[in-house]
A and B are shown apart, each in its own frame.
Chain A
Amino acid sequence: MKLSKNYFADERTDDFTEIGQPRPRSDIRGHVTGRTAYFADRTFPGLLHLKMVRSPHHHARIRGIDTSEAEKHPGVARIITAKDVPQNLYTILILIHVGPEDEHVLAEDKVRWKGEAVVAVLAETARAAEEAAAKVKVDYEVLPAVLSIEDALKPDAPIVNEHHGRNYYLYDSGECRKVRFGDVEKGFAQADHILEESYSSGPIEHAPLETSGCIVTPEANGRFTCYTNTQAMFFTLDNASIILQMPGHKLHMVGGTVGGGFGGKVDVTIEPVAILAAKLTGRPVSFIYSREEEMQVSSPRAAERIVIKDGVMKDGRIVARQVTAYIDAGAYSRHSPYGAQKSAAHFPGPYTISNVAIDSYCVYTNRTPSSAMRGFGVTIGDFALEVQTDKLARLIGMDPLEFRFINAYRDGDMKAHRQPTEGAALIECMQEASVIAGWPVSERFMKMSSRTREG
């Protein structure tokens, strides 16, 4: 790695003793000796194993649940269904008033995606729990499912989630989060060229080496200690407190080093039901996702559809950009309304464009709920924006790197979401890239600065 200290040297002092030093990581000795403690590196006498019975259908009504055979299975300690959960309906961000509550800890009347948790089985061994889970009988009436963004937004589409009553999240701005800046139609009218293109992506999994999970122990004083690999201790504690209708002081969340997160461990699909299980049985409980659950049940990065329409001048200036983004939230909100909003603020990318219109939709489908993942709301948007930018450059016969210099934002420029640009450094990154990649650009671009606008 090269630290290119020549850029912005006048904005920095480098007179530190600890900052900027390549000190060894304090946790590295534990890593290389195998002694770093992860949540599952603990054993407890009498530990019960939780296995979840999951929906085999994308969308179905639950007519009945019969656990009688499963209960008789050797080693089974307890079976938990929706009626055991004190406050079964929840949504993660309710603490910061992003509702409505739209998801059940354990399915009640319906399942809305293939993999949804229906019944929790607790047994002396993981194997016994799995065998007993296979004996739980759920009587489903299969319902028509909505599996794509396009189908979800059709006027006669079946409703995925009654708590929303429509197949998209309703913002105060309506069916999507909107950003309006300048006059995009006027921009298109003055443009030399118009280019409208669509981009899309499939769901992507975090795939951390350590699957999501927790171990809960009931303490003598009536509290519950939950050893967890959540990325957000108080998201987990506060939501568990609400779901279990248990005061927060009864709960003690203990983390440690997490075996990779990438955004995959910010939902609260694991701890509340495991704490409930420990409460109902009075025994320590382990609930750890299998690799298959991590792949197909834990929230992925959302699939997205992004349509970008640009107006560009022959001299390289982008004069209008309209973006319509659809984020496939799956069956429940989790963090997706936030992700869609984040995308609305991110478009139109690191460029200064006078006329911008953004519509970001959070769409519900009968799919695995998507949620946070490294850069969600931005990553796929950047793919779309930067491929589109490349196409624009080629459309007007300009070098793609030079084209970006022409449009790059600079300090003081007003962004579409009406924040002035501060601390910009896109131009300098491109200058350095030009040098290290041997991709020469005209001298005037090498002289540009994010801090001033020449002429």
Chain B
Amino acid sequence: MAVKRGRGVAAVNYPTGMNLGGDPTQALVHSTPTGSFMVTLSSVDLGQGLKQIMAQICAETIGVPTESVTVDTADTDTGPHCMGTFASRGTHRAGNAVIQAAREARQVMLEVAAEELEVNASDLDTDGSGNIHVKGAPSRSISIFDTALAAHFKHGRSISGRGMFLVPRSYPETETGAMKPSTCYAHACTVAEVEVDEETGEVVVLSVKNVFEIGRALNPKMVEQQLIGGSWMGISHALYETTEPYYPDREHGARDYNEYLMPGPGDLAETEIAVLERPSGDGPFGAKGPGEMCANPQIPAVANAIFDAVGVRVDTLPITPERVLRALRQRDAGATA
């Protein structure tokens, strides 16, 4: 019996967004009479935290604290169109739409404040904590609360904005396949270390060291939670998951969580994550979409580590103990032949 160690590496990139028939998302932003801001969307929060990120993007753009922004989303009566939450597009597409809408709202807000302060709107700035002041003269200021009240009841102005982000449709060129299928690309590199039991074929992932380049970490803690979860799913895909373990045989399909295998809390690899930021030219504050990519590089990294450990290749997913054992037997048969 021998348990052998190995390590493997994989490097990947990932396109942001879906582009087949055009990739649009819209957003509306408006203030209440007392200077709170509403972002209205129809994008969906699946747990990745879209609502929080849109609030931070809107707050940064208008120059108010995130707490004062409420995101109303996933309602087709109120929210303008969004293509949907998939293809690593939520932060990028909806974020850009929110920025455009928030900029327009900020402009109206500054114009109203300018009238109240009797200065030019271009001379005004926000302090990020609820006030607007004359650049270089912080004492000449008005609160956003008072500005919004004045807009509503005195000036008859709507502090609001419309945002639209559309990636136009790309038609692939028939013969060459020339196309623009996405916008910016995120990147990753993973090094996995595994232990392979040559007697049972069982693979234990000891550690994964993941590096992700994601444009901009808009909220680092939320980035971290998505990347940790994605890294886990990558390992899960590599070694465990399938609805049909003997595909294309339709029998033996998993029907529940007892039959559908995934690593549990006792099967975790030591996981390390480093994040690089190369802001994309077209992303909100440079952000790209890492939501899907983060589960990809672990799969080949683990496969390569298994080869490094025991010298066999399993080129079919998932890399189950049965497949590893069969490969080991083939290796040993070849050695004796």
Which residues of A are in contact with B by a Cβ distance under 8 Å?
1-5, 7-8, 11-12, 16-23, 25-27, 58, 93, 95-98, 114, 147-149, 151, 172-173, 177-181, 197-205, 207, 230-235, 237, 251-263, 265-266, 291-292, 295-296, 300, 303, 338, 341-342, 344-346, 349-350, 358, 365, 367-368, 372, 374-375, 378-380, 382-387, 389-391, 400-401, 404, 408-409, 416-419, 422-426, 428-430, 432-433, 436-437, 439, 450
Counted as pairs of residues, one from A and one from B, with CB atoms less than 8 Å apart, the total is 415
Further 6 A-B residue pairs, CB within 8 A, beyond A1-B223, A390-B300, A430-B211? A98-B21, A177-B177, A257-B46, A345-B177, A432-B189, A436-B191
B274 touches A2 (CB 8 A): yes
- 7 of the cross-chain contacts (CB-CB < 8 Å) are A93-B20, A231-B84, A234-B82, A425-B213, A426-B213, A429-B189, A437-B9
CB-CB < 8 A to A416: which residues of B?
177
Q: Which residue on B lies nearest to A418, using beta carbons?
A: B178
CB-CB < 8 A to B215: which residues of A?
423
A400 touches B216 (CB 8 A): no
Bound Cα distance A372, B85 (Å): 11
Q: Which residue on A lies nearest to B185, using beta carbons?
A: A423
Bound Cα distance A255, B169 (Å): 27
A18 touches B292 (CB 8 A): no
CB-CB < 8 A to A4: which residues of B?
211, 274-276
Smallest beta-carbon distance A437→chain B, Å: 4
Q: Is B182 an interface residue (CB 8 A)?
A: yes
Find B18's partner among A11, A338, A379, A437 (CB 8 Å cutoff). Answer: A338
Bound Cα distance A262, B228 (Å): 15
**Which of B30-38, B134-142, B246-254 contacts the other chain?**
B246-254
Main secondary structure of the interface of B (DSSP, over half): loop
Contacts known (A17-B128, A404-B11); A257 close to B218, Cβ less than 8 A: no
A23 touches B219 (CB 8 A): yes
CB-CB < 8 A to B260: which residues of A?
205, 207, 295
Q: Is B65 an interface residue (CB 8 A)?
A: yes
Find A432's partner among B60, B180, B181, B274 (CB 8 Å cutoff). Answer: B274
A386 touches B177 (CB 8 A): no
Bound Cα distance A367, B255 (Å): 16
Q: Which residue on B lies nearest to A375, using beta carbons?
A: B292
Smallest beta-carbon distance A94→chain B, Å: 10
Q: Which residue on A lies nearest to B186, using beta carbons?
A: A425
B172 touches A341 (CB 8 A): yes
CB-CB < 8 A to A23: which residues of B?
52, 56, 66, 219, 221
CB-CB < 8 A to A386: which residues of B?
10-12, 297, 299-301, 303-304
**Which of B114-122, B146-154, B195-203, B311-319 contacts the other chain?**
B311-319
B313 touches A426 (CB 8 A): no
Contacts known (A386-B297, A387-B315); A430 close to B11, Cβ less than 8 A: yes
Report B75-91 CB contacts with A as 1/0, cut-off 8 Å.
11101011111110000
CB-CB < 8 A to B331: which residues of A?
none
Smallest beta-carbon distance A383→chain B, Å: 5
A197 touches B315 (CB 8 A): yes
B52 touches A429 (CB 8 A): no
Smallest beta-carbon distance A260→chain B, Å: 6
A202 touches B187 (CB 8 A): no
| A-facing residues in B224-239 (Cβ within 8 Å) | 224, 227-228, 230, 233, 237-238
Bound Cα distance A433, B213 (Å): 11
B128 touches A439 (CB 8 A): no
A230 touches B47 (CB 8 A): no
Q: Is B336 an interface residue (CB 8 A)?
A: no
**4 nearest interchain CB pairs?**
A96-B21, A232-B84, A255-B74, A179-B177
Contacts known (A261-B85, A417-B177); A233 close to B9, Cβ less than 8 A: no
Contacts known (A231-B46, A404-B9); A20 close to B275, Cβ less than 8 A: no
A19 touches B57 (CB 8 A): yes
CB-CB < 8 A to B180: which residues of A?
419
Smallest beta-carbon distance A96→chain B, Å: 2
Q: Is B241 an interface residue (CB 8 A)?
A: yes
Q: Is B161 an interface residue (CB 8 A)?
A: no
B8 touches A390 (CB 8 A): yes
Q: Is B244 an interface residue (CB 8 A)?
A: yes
Bound Cα distance A367, B250 (Å): 8
Find B295's partner among A300, A342, A374 (CB 8 Å cutoff). Answer: A374
Smallest beta-carbon distance A74→chain B, Å: 28
Contacts known (A18-B65, A345-B182, A378-B14); A7 close to B189, Cβ less than 8 A: no
Find A295's partner among B177, B221, B256 (CB 8 Å cutoff). Answer: B256
Interface centre among B174, B238, B248 (most CB of A within 10 A): B248
CB-CB < 8 A to B49: which residues of A?
25, 27
Find B9's partner among A199, A205, A401, A425 (CB 8 Å cutoff). Answer: A401
Contacts known (A180-B175, A205-B243, A259-B47); A291 close to B255, Cβ less than 8 A: yes
